[in-house]
Amino acid sequence: SQQGEEDPQALSIQEGENATMNCSYKTSINNLQWYRQNSGRGLVHLILIRSNEREKHSGRLRVTLDTSKKSSSLLITASRAADTASYFCATDGEAAGNKLTFGGGTRVLVKP
Stretch that binds another protein, among 12-20, 60-68, 72-80, 102-110 (CB under 8 A): 102-110
Question: What number of CA atoms fall less than 13 Å from residue 70's CA on the CB side?
Answer: 12
- Given the complex with another protein, which of 27 and 98 has the nearer CB atom? 98
- Is residue 98 part of the contact set for another protein (CB under 8 A)? yes
Stretch that binds another protein, among 56-64, 65-73, 75-83, 95-103 (CB under 8 A): 95-103
- Is residue 78 part of the contact set for another protein (CB under 8 A)? no
- Is residue 109 part of the contact set for another protein (CB under 8 A)? no
Beta carbons of 32 and 48 less than 8 angstroms apart: yes
What are the φ/ψ torsions at residue 67 (nearest 5 degrees)? -70, -25
Q: Cis peptide leading into 112, omega within 30 of 0?
A: no
Beta carbons of 54 and 64 less than 8 angstroms apart: yes
List residues binding another protein (CB under 8 A): 1-2, 30-31, 33, 35, 40-45, 48, 88, 92, 96-105
